[in-house]
Amino acid sequence: MAEFDTMRARAGGISAAQIDEGLRAHMNKVYGTMSVGLLVTAGAAWGIGTSPAMLAIFRDPATLQPNILGWAVMFAPLLMVFAFGAMINRISAAGAQLFFYAFSAVMGISISWIFSVFTGISIVQTFLITAIAFAGLSLYGYTTKKNLSGLGTFLMMGLIGIIVASIVNIFLASSALHFVISVLGVLIFAGLTAYDTQSIKNEYVEHARHMDEEWLGKSAIMGALRLYLDFINLFMFLLQFLGNRN
């Protein structure tokens, strides 16, 4: 919080009240865009996952193992995140928002299989638990006086580790490794939720003096993407523990 106050004080030509008002509007846009993305994901996942004919396009109906198209959809969100970061400076804020919603739809298709594996009630319950946990963690990141920037490198290293371990476990199919990945995944994305919220807040204040509307618009969408990924991953890892299988 001390770092936040220092940056706010250095925002020449802009009063603290103006910065606080702009920050609230910025965070509202971040959370609003993220929420719409989650609705798009939920709709796409439900539409595909509850239709055996549609799900069969991506996975074997008997084993639920992905086919070629299923593998493509599984890795498409990761590739889209890298593409988004590479082209964010070359597209408009409106284009970035459209890309984010397209990404959300693809993410929904990639996780649609959960409706065939877990009961609908347990999916809804896990989603609500995730929402409550996310809200608490994000609120902590927004209000804490503790500087969380030191966690960034540690959390990113952990994230890379579980991505690599998850890919390896696709071929090993180890239940023990799957359990370890799930536990670490919950802890890492819980930490990232608080860290990313504070980071989004501080980045806004750092750039507030420039009042670059185009940058602010894109920054809100990038912030929404970061928190969206934290939410989705936290939900998917919690589902491994809380979901009741069909």
pLDDT digits (tens, 9 = 90+) for 37-55: 999 999 999 999 999 999 9
The average pLDDT across 106-128 equals: 95
The pLDDT tens digits of the residues spanning 156-202 come to: 899 999 989 988 888 888 888 989 999 999 999 999 999 999 999 98
Considering just the CA atoms, what is the radius of gyration of the chain in Å? 19
Q: Say which residue the tokens 């370890």 belong to.
A: 180
Give the count of domains, the chain.
1
Q: 51 in helix, strand or coil?
A: coil
pLDDT for 153 equals 85
Query: Any bridge partners for residue 66, and if so which?
Result: 59
| Structure tokens, 86 | 């590479």
Q: Give the global pTM.
A: 0.88
Domain that holds residue 198: 2-242
CB 219 within 8 A of CB 93: no
The pLDDT tens digits of the residues spanning 210-219 come to: 666 677 788 9
- Residue 210 DSSP class: G
* Interacting residues of 180 by C-beta distance below 8 A, sequence separation 6+: 165
Cβ neighbours of 159 (radius 10 Å): 18
Which bin fits 41, alpha (ψ -120 to 50), beta or left (φ > 0)? alpha
* Interacting residues of 169 by C-beta distance below 8 A, sequence separation 6+: 177, 178, 181
Residues 96, 140: Cα–Cα separation, whole Å: 28
Amino acid at 174: S
More confident of the two residues 16 and 183:
183
Q: What dihedral angle (degrees, nearest 10) is formed by the CA atoms of 106, 108, 111, 116?
A: -130
Cβ neighbours of 114 (radius 10 Å): 18
The average pLDDT across 4-30 equals: 71
Residues 82, 77: Cα–Cα separation, whole Å: 9
Secondary element (H or E) of residue 158: helix 151-172
Range with lowest mean pLDDT among 1-10, 19-28, 124-133? 1-10
Q: Residue 149 — φ and ψ, nearest 5°?
A: -60, -30
Amino acid at 190: A
**Percentages (nearest 5) of helix, strand, coil residues in the chain:** 85, 0, 15
Q: Indicate if the pLDDT at residue 10 is higher than 60.
A: no
